[in-house]
Amino acid sequence: MSIALIKPEPTLWVARFGDELYRFALGRVSDEACAEELVQDTLLSALDALASFRGEASERTWLFLILRRKIIDHYRRQARHPEVSLAVVTPDGPTEADFFQEDNGHWRREQYPTSWQSADGALEQQELQQTLRTCQDKLPSQHAAVFVLRFVEELTAEEICKELSLTSSNYWVIIHRAKLQLRRCLEKHGLGRAA
């Protein structure tokens, strides 16, 4: 039994998949221009690799795989040029030890984040997403890269260490610092624990 291969139609990619690719990218990077550039790079790479398209997956799936790789490459480049945030080195405010257990790195019970859901859940969820994006943009580039790859792209710790050339211990330090910085930022925006 022979399976008919579907011939890709690059002239229709933008019309068929452009908006969806853009929304996917925008949900993973910090600004619109970067998302647009990632989608453009994805389409150009797909065009260059058109001869290698075997039709084992749909065009859509193939394009999203390329875009996902472009996003990981974007964060890998950012992680190679880390910026030191003053928030990381200033001694003011709580430290990691105030929020996380030393033995296993999990949240301390009394500091565990509370649920932000309420009767106005949808509106609050939208505000939370906007605030989280604002806070995420304030992370140093390497922290942001690790955070997005772990919690948005859902890569494993091993995959992230390999992609960003990190040691396991360095990865865990970055994760904890990113969580702590995000928590501080969210609390500054009124999304802290109830008194």
3-state secondary structure of 162: helix
Mean pLDDT for each consecutive 10-residue tract of the chain (195 residues)?
63 92 88 92 92 84 92 83 49 64 72 58 70 85 88 89 90 91 85 55
3-state secondary structure of 113: coil
In a domain, 24, yes or no: yes
DSSP state of 56: S
Residue 2 pLDDT? 44
The answer to whether residues 102 and 72 belong to one domain is no
The answer to whether residues 28 and 111 belong to one domain is no
Give the whole-angstrom CA distance, residue 157 versus residue 64. 22
Give the residue from 102, 172, 182 showing the smallest Cα distance to 139.
182
The answer to whether residues 16 and 59 belong to one domain is yes
User: What is the rounded end-to-end Cα distance, in angstroms, of the chain?
Assistant: 67
In a domain, 183, yes or no: yes
Give the residue from 68, 70, 58, 67 showing the smallest Cα distance to 9.
58
Q: Please count the other Cβ atoms lying within 10 Å of the Cβ belonging to residue 108.
A: 12
The answer to whether residues 103 and 133 belong to one domain is yes
User: Of 24, 50, 80, which closes a domain?
Assistant: 80
Residue 38 pLDDT? 94
Domain count within the chain: 2
Residue 14 pLDDT? 92
The answer to whether residues 92 and 163 belong to one domain is yes
CATH at 45:
1.10.1740
The answer to whether residues 103 and 26 belong to one domain is no
| Chain mean position to CA 15 | 26
- Residue ranges making up the domain that contains 14: 10-80
Residue 88 pLDDT? 45
